[in-house]
Amino acid sequence: MTVFSHRDFDGHERIVFAHDAASGLRAIIAVHSTRLGPAAGGCRMWPYASDDEALADVLRLSRGMTYKNAVAGLDLGGGKAVIIADPKTQKTTELMRSFGRAINDLGGSYITAEDVGIDVADMEIVRETTRHVAGLSRGAHASGDPSPVTARGVFEGLRLAVAMRLQRETLGGVRVAVQGLGHVGRHLCALLHEAGAVLVVSDIDTTRMREVVEAYGASAVAANEIMQVDADVFAPCALGGILNETIIPALRVAVVAGAANNQLAGPGIAQALHERGILYVPDYALNAGGIINVAREIAGISDPNWVEERFAGMLANIDEILREASERDVSPDAIAAEFARRRLATS
């Protein structure tokens, strides 16, 4: 396993490997940047095939959080944690408490919250051993599950992209292929259905897929078919790295806009999408609604307008990114990265 020479290292400030034999905890915590404030980002529990795979994921996710928080205008840095375990069979109370102790040892440089495989109840357990946690259901400023706010941001950003690329002011009749029906994907489907979109969905969990089909009149396809569906929009809401050199030529959509983190498998993919005429909305600009909601909790702010003001600012930034990219005839990903780097450089 390499760290400092890893292609995704990108100057991380701190990488912690946390192990507790008694609880079975095996976790990696990555703090990419605290330039704008304490690093904030969720904890993901996933049965990674190898330690190298887990390291690559946490490095990319934490760097993405730095850019996400910068573009969203938050006074937070970027960090992320991954726990190498199957959330369906290996998650225990003691494991989550042990994870909380590992977070506490960082002294507040990293604040954790929910991500894939982790929910509000898990964060309540983590809170037993550290105060550096958010996304809670109880407390003076508890923000709860960030998924609905994340989905709302993706929905509104997707609507902006459809208006720009397809010249359609509403989503009525717009065909959207949604990959992944977890917390965010399910909420996104509800919003799209309410707006009149036509849904095609896929998930590795057939129960989830059946529920969405029944609730929203969606069509279902196999997991390996969703990226070849003939649609207006592809909304990736599962794991990252799904847009690669093989998939790009097979896409049959005009817009890619989804909630998944790190959708691009590597350098050059955003440009490849642009060259194919596919409007890609950078994931870290689009899915920041949840961290905005969590940021209010972290800051201890009671004003209900605080989230709405920053949510409106996030959408304004997405609109600016898409418009500038169109004017310069470049990928929106390049513009979003410039936006983030400018804020980091002037802080």
Give the model confidence (pLDDT) of 242-266 as tens digits. Answer: 999 999 999 999 999 999 999 999 8
With CA atoms as reference, report the closest residue to 339 among 299, 293, 288.
Answer: 288
Per-residue pLDDT, 346: 80
Per-residue pLDDT, 141: 80
The whole-angstrom separation of Cα 261 and Cα 41 is 11
Delimiting residues of CATH 3.40.50.10860 domain(s) in the chain: 14-61+77-126
Mean of the per-residue pLDDT values of the chain? 95
Delimiting residues of CATH 3.40.50.720 domain(s) in the chain: 147-287+316-345
Q: What would the two tokens of residue 328 be?
A: 């310069």
The whole-angstrom separation of Cα 38 and Cα 11 is 16
Pairing mode, strands 175-179 and 43-46: unpaired
DSSP summary character for residue 210: H
Active-site pick, 68, 80, 88, 91: 80
- Rg (C-alpha) for the chain, rounded Å, is 19
Give the model confidence (pLDDT) of 280-312 as tens digits. Answer: 999 999 999 999 999 999 999 988 799 999 999
Q: Which sign does the torsion angle of CA 8, 345, 69, 258 carry?
A: negative
What kind of architecture, by CATH, is found in domain 147-287+316-345? 3-Layer(aba) Sandwich (3.40)
Q: What would the two tokens of residue 195 be?
A: 């707006």
What top-level class would CATH report for the domain 14-61+77-126?
alpha beta
Per-residue pLDDT, 2: 84
**Distances in whole angstroms, Cα of residue 108 to Cα of each of 36, 84, 259, 331:** 14, 22, 27, 36
Task: Verify whether residue 88 is a known catalytic residue.
Answer: no
Model pTM? 0.91
The torsion angles phi and psi of 108, rounded to 5 degrees, stand at 95, 0
Query: What are all long-range contacts of 311-314, with beta carbons under 8 Å and residues at least 24 apart?
Result: 311/149, 311/152, 311/153, 313/72, 313/73, 314/71, 314/72, 314/73, 314/153, 314/285, 314/288, 314/289
What parts of the chain have a pLDDT lower than 70? 347
Per-residue pLDDT, 140: 76
Give the model confidence (pLDDT) of 57-91 as tens digits. Answer: 999 999 999 999 999 999 999 999 999 999 999 99
